[in-house]
């Protein structure tokens, strides 16, 4: 990878979270909120399916950022805001743009988008290139 510069656009990553993954992530993070694994209950709260956990979005935002930055990178901070709900099996796309580069520190503006481009989550990830 060439040294990053502000304005660089990272290659987008397309993915889905399966129902099984949402259940396993809830289990391993001791999150028993039923909206994340009980689609019928989620529907009773107005959601179209089992809801992707905020912290799972956080994992996606940061993991793709670290994969883009390479093996010698380390996560320093991550900040994200949930804008609309994503659900199990929904096609999602991770996007990122380099916002700043200061020495070995790179900040990315990141987002998770729905198929129509609506942002589910937006945020910032700070990475150290070590």
Partner 1 sequence: MNVLDEVLTRARSLVDRWEDEDCGTVTVKDFCRYAAALNDADYIDRARNREATGEPVEAPALFLAATMSWEDGPPERELRPDGLAARESPCTMGLPVRQVHGGQTVRLLRAPVAGSRVTASRAVTSAERKQGRSGAFVLLGLTTRFTSADGTELTAVDETIVVMEALDSPGAA
* Between 5 and 81, CB nearer to partner 1: 81
Tokens representing 51? 């809801």
* Between 75 and 101, CB nearer to partner 1: 75
* Helix, strand, coil percentages, rounded to 5, for the chain: 25, 35, 35
Cα 119 from chain centroid? Answer: 11
- Residues at the interface with partner 1 (CB under 8 A): 21, 24-25, 27-35, 38, 41, 44-46, 51, 53-56, 58-59, 62-63, 66, 75-82, 85, 123
Q: How far is the CB of 24 from partner 1 (least distance, A)?
A: 4
* Between 10 and 56, CB nearer to partner 1: 56
> Can you point out the beta strands (E) in 12-118?
13-15, 73-82, 92-102, 105-113
């Amino acid at each position: 990878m060439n040294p990053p510069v502000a304005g660089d656009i990272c290659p987008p990553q397309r993915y889905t979270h399966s129902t099984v993954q949402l259940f396993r992530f809830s289990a391993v993070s001791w999150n028993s909120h039923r909206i994340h694994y009980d689609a019928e209950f989620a529907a009773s709260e107005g959601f179209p399916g089992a809801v992707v956990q905020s912290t799972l979005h956080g994992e996606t935002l940061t993991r793709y950022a670290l994969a883009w930055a390479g093996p010698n990178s380390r996560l320093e901070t991550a900040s994200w805001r949930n804008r609309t709900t994503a659900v199990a099996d929904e096609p999602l796309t991770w996007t990122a743009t380099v916002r700043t580069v200061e020495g070995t520190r790179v900040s990315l503006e990141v987002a998770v988008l729905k198929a129509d481009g609506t942002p589910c989550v937006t945020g910032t990830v700070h990475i150290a290139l070590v």
